[in-house]
Structure 1
Amino acid sequence: MPRSSRYADARCAGQRAWSRRFLKAVAIQPLNALTGHGCINIAAGREDALSKITAILGSALFFLVAPAMLAGVIPWSITHWEFRPPFLEAEATRLAGLAFIIAGVSGLLDSFARFALQGLGTPAPIAPPRNLVVSGLYRYVRNPIYVAVVAVILGQAVLFADRHLLGYGALIWLFFHIFVIAYEEPTLRQSFGAEYESYCANVPRWLPRLTQRAV
């Protein structure tokens, strides 16, 4: 057989062997070939990272627009952060107000972070999370952000002993309650179905449980 023919046969055999290995990798081991170490896994990782960055930026912006305004700017416009004679003529009440503020701010930061990192979205209705967030404070109460905002407002009312701020806090809670009943809960039921129904059955809307419930 001429040398050129032997070379051609060897090349064809090599190509057939490579084709068999490729088909085996794709047909017999598709998960390992495509999702374990392949381009799809890399693209998915980049997409998740981009989603988290977008969610973090969106949540930070919404934090400045909503909670910071409702629990910071507006209360300041009412009290100017001026101390009045304490409620019940007891200075110790101011410590209770300070505790409410610290707890409320901590709850806000934690809940916003979970919306961005776990829910891959924001608390804003125009950019809701992809995943239902049920960890952290959400294991104790369904609306920790709203509870935290009201806690910060009422904490300032007690700290500065301002009755007008108490009334403002009550109105904010009433607004949150109507919004949750009329819009937020129906929307979440439509988005997450049985998962959200199970969550509602185990976790209260407003009064936090002292122990977490499995959801």
Structure 2
Amino acid sequence: MLTREAARAYFALQAVAGAAWWVAVFAVPAVREATLGGLDPALMAVFDLPLFVGASALAATGLRWAVWIAAPWTALVAGGMALYATGTERAGWGALLMIAATIGSAAAALLVLSGRIPSERMLVGPFAFRAAPSTTARGRVGRTGAQIVVFWGLFLIVFPLAIVAIEQRWGLHLDAPPAARVSGAVLLVAASALGIWSALAMSLRGEGTPLPAAMPHRLVVSGPYRYVRNPMALAGIAQGVAVGLMLGSWLVVLYALAGSLFWNRIVRPLEEADLQARFGAEFAAYRDRVACWIPRPRRSVRPPAG
């Protein structure tokens, strides 16, 4: 649960993990090389032990001023490590770990300081919930097709290729078996078919598009929406994993899975609140009847005895 207690527990875990990492840095040369490269560990420790490990430990007790030290310092180190890894092709694992710590620290800091993550502030521009303008079915399908080209191009081509380039530059690439690439291609075809089916159902039956800025006028409960409430999101996650398998990139697979967690925990509650506000009892009944991710087995109706 996203609570202050969970955020404080995160900072406690970060402090313990940071202390253990510093022990490994001085005790295991391979860890030092993989995470610090040619940087002086003694000099780094002078700053990082109090500002990262110590401040995280204090933030775990609920001290707000410690949060203002731990989170910005983590982001600063992550940025510096990313630049260092990109420029030298060393310490890529250190850069990756600090980027992950930055994301966790930022979320935990928001929870400790304000008690919540203001996810609704992301709903701006093309991500703000608005009903689609009235147009013909051909117009809606054309707009949906344009959205697919743009978003699939960005999230399934541009971003993954950038991640692969970073993965190679930072020395994080791991060899994948040939079967993974074949499996990825099969999964990509199936997931893309599901995505297109879902988009057409949204355009033709819902009189809208998948984009939040052009939401449907009718609640779509047919097509793939008979089986799961979020077939478009399911298709997108599977597509991301498929692209990662095809590229032989574990980081792209992780990117897709992380996106699924972000969508499920941050975006989906906002979207469902909007659907509840617009469709009321109709959406509530649909939500209770149809699963979010995994289709529920259909129950057979037995005729009354006698």
Q: TM-score, normalised by structure 2?
A: 0.48
| Structure 2 match to 1:110 | 197
CA contact (8 A) 2:144 2:199 kept: yes
Structure 1 stretches of 4+ with a deviation exceeding 4 A read 210-213
Identify the residue that residue 267 of structure 2 maps to in structure 1: 179
- Distance in 2, matches of 1:187 and 1:193, equals 10
CA distance in 2, matches of 1:170, 1:153: 8
Please list every run of 5 or more consecutive structure 1 residues that lacks an aligned counterpart in the other structure: 1-48
Q: In the alignment, what sits opposite 1:77?
A: 162
Q: Are residue 126 (structure 1) and residue 213 (structure 2) matched?
A: yes
Return the offset for 1:58: 2.1
Letter of the structure 1 residue corresponding to residue 160 of structure 2: P
What does residue 40 of structure 1 align with? none
- For 2:136, the equivalent position in structure 1 comes to 51
Equivalent position amino acid for 1:63 in 2: I
Structure 2 partner of 1:26: none
Question: 1:92 matched to which residue of 2?
Answer: 179
Q: Is the 8 A contact 1:139 1:212 kept in 2?
A: no
> CA 1:122 to 1:158, structure 2 compared with 1: closer, same or farther past 3 Å?
same
**Which position in structure 2 is the counterpart of 1:13?**
none
Cα deviation for residue 164 of structure 1 reads 0.9
Question: Where does residue 21 of structure 1 map in the other structure?
Answer: none
Equivalent residue number for residue 27 of structure 1: none
CA distance in 1, matches of 2:158, 2:191: 16
Q: Structure 1 length normalisation: TM-score?
A: 0.66
> 1:154-173 counterparts in 2 under 5 A?
154-173=241-260
Partners of 1:179 and 1:50 in 2: CA distance:
27
Structure 1 residue 93: Cα displacement: 3.0
* Higher RCO (CA 8 Å, separation ≥ 6 residues): 1
> May I ask how many residue pairs the two structures share in their alignment?
160
Superposed displacement of residue 120, structure 1: 0.8
Q: Deviations over 1:155-176 (max 9, x none)?
A: 1222332111122112211221
Q: Which has the larger radius of gyration?
A: 1
Q: Distance between the aligned counterparts of 2:278 and 2:187, measured in 1?
A: 33
- 2:106 aligns with none
Separation in 1, partners of 2:268, 2:223 = 20
| Secondary structure at 1:66 match in 2 | helix
The separation in 2 between residues aligned to 1:173 and 1:144, in whole angstroms, is 12
